[in-house]
Amino acid sequence: MKEILEGSHAVAEATRLCRPEVIAAYPITPQTHIVEALAQMVADCRLQSEYICVESEFSALSACLGASAAGSRTYSATTSQGLALMFEVCFNVAGMRLPIVMTIANRAMSAPLSIWNDQQDSIALRDSGWIQLYAEDNQEALDLHILAYRVCEDHDILLPAFVCFDGFILTHTYEPVDMPTQEEVDAYLPAFNPYQRLDAKDPISFGMYATPDYYLEFRYENQRAMLRAKDAISKYGALFGEQFGRDYSGLIEGYKLEDAEIALIAMGSICGTIKDAIDEMRADGKKVGLLKIRCYRPFPDEEIASALSHIKTVAVLDKNISLGSKGAVALEVKDALYGSSIDVYDYILGLGGRDIRKKDIKAIVDLAEKGSGDMFYGLREELL
């Protein structure tokens, strides 16, 4: 059924349809509308779930950790400084192999304080062991939550997931979405069947002390599960397409890439702007295409190398910066394309919510054509 919803409310409805048994979250801009909506659903008996009011984001994810270990499907949401406060618990959740799904309403990190969008917050946790999915629009944001639960709870995976969508740009924007029914989601997403759980009658321990004789093997198993997640995302993404008519079998997605000479690479809502700019550039005779990364962890290195095998020049648009190096996406793309003859240029832009317009996309293509890259794009020189 088609509905016009604010992005945050679309995500809240998707979460409700997944039937989480425990929700713990702390409100923080621009995530607040999601957890407000879920709290209202619980109060109105539209969602049978234990909603835990906590005093901080650290407590929120800690409560989810305990509930998941006890055998409950759990959910949380956060952004920016809230995610930073969860840092320790994020590693604990992944290390304990707990399939928690958490929404990240992407927002810039302090200082200076900014409530506007970039992707620095989730990118900063790229090494924590969480699957990371990025939505271009609110339909994808809705769908990816349902997909994430199916992937994470697979007993061959058992990893947590961030479902990331851009703060304000998507969270507070109203768009038409195709809302599945509860019956459709139930047919796609089985009831949670924990691989193991805390049980006083059959005691086990989670997250115990590991000496150097054992720790390396735990990390190795986490890595193996993350790599297996590629196939799981493809498998359940294809199944999602069969069930709902929207195919998510690809970790990446191309737009007019087949005959392109220059490829732009990006994640999130900026991809919509890029597509519009590409249409205009194509009308002027420029063969430009887009490679959208939907799944950043596990990173689709082989898929990217295959999709770009015919490309001459690549421009990566990073809404983050690994200070002292380059944008995090560009670093991984360059690694994926190592040994090829493709020129890869990195452009850091949109930090702190600065607008990215079609004319900016076109200007970046011009820069890449001239071999000028690895730069902060759009700097205001008068402020330096």
pLDDT in tens, 224-256: 999 999 999 999 999 999 999 999 999 999 999
- The percentage of residues in the chain with a pLDDT greater than 70, rounded to a whole number, is 100
Q: Are residues 260 and 342 in the same domain?
A: yes
Residues 286-313 have a mean pLDDT of 98
Q: Is there a single domain that holds both residue 91 and residue 191?
A: yes
Chosen domain end from 215, 244, 273? 244
For the residues 347-355, what does the mean pLDDT come to? 98
pLDDT computed for residue 188 by the predictor: 98
Alpha helices in the chain (DSSP H): 7-17, 32-43, 57-69, 80-85, 87-95, 120-123, 138-152, 182-188, 212-244, 270-283, 301-307, 328-336, 358-369
What's the Cα-to-Cα distance from 202 to each of 179, 198, 199, 205, 206, rounded to whole Å?
41, 8, 5, 10, 13
Q: Are residues 173 and 84 in the same domain?
A: yes
Q: Same domain for 157 and 284? A: no
Contact present, 350 and 319 (Cβ < 8 Å): yes
Contact 48, 133 (CB under 8 A): no
Tokens 């924990």 locate to 194
Tell me, yes or no, whether 378 and 320 share the same domain: yes
- Whether residue 219 is found in the same domain as residue 285: no
The answer to whether residues 178 and 298 belong to one domain is: no
How many domains in the chain? 2
Runs of H (alpha helix) within 181-307: 182-188, 212-244, 270-283, 301-307
Same domain, 210 and 340: no
Let me know whether 258 and 231 are in one domain: no
Nearest to 102 by CA among 65, 71, 138, 49: 65
203 prior amide bond cis, ω within 30: no
Q: What is the length of the chain?
A: 384
Specify the pLDDT at position 1. Answer: 87
What is the percent of the chain where pLDDT is above 90?
A: 99
* Listed residues 244, 268, 303: the one ending a domain: 244
- pLDDT bucket at 214, cuts 50 / 70 / 90: very high
Q: In whole angstroms, give the CA distance from residue 254 to residue 271.
A: 11
Same domain, 37 and 173: yes
Same domain, 103 and 7: yes
CATH no. for residue 302?
3.40.50.920
- The residue range of the domain holding 42 is 2-244
Report whether 333 contacts 344 (CB < 8 A): yes
Contacts of 352 (CB under 8 A, 6+ apart): 108, 114, 116, 118
Q: What is the DSSP letter of 286?
A: -
CB atoms within 10 A of CB 82: 25
How much is the pTM? 0.98
**What spatial distance separates the first Cα and last Cα of the chain, rounded to whole Å?**
51
Q: How confident is the model at residue 324 (pLDDT cuts 50, 70, 90)?
A: very high
Average pLDDT over residues 72-87: 98
Which tens digit of pLDDT belongs to each residue from 6-23? 999 999 999 999 999 999
Q: Is the sign of the CA dihedral 231, 238, 23, 80 positive or negative? A: positive
- Tens of pLDDT, residue by residue over 131-190, are 999 999 999 999 999 999 999 999 999 999 999 999 999 999 999 999 999 999 999 999
d(CA 93, CA 87): 10
Distance, in Å, from the CA atom of 77 to the CA atom of 12, rounded to the nearest integer, reads 10
Q: Are residues 198 and 312 in the same domain?
A: no
The two beta strands, 313-318 and 262-266, are parallel
Residues 78/56, Cβ–Cβ less than 8 Å:
no
**Mean pLDDT for the chain?**
97
Q: Among 223, 244, 265, give the residue marking a domain's end.
A: 244
pLDDT value for 300: 98
Find the CATH number of the domain harbouring 21: 3.40.50.970
Please name the residues in contact with 360: beta carbons below 8 A apart, sequence gap of 6 or more: 349, 377, 378
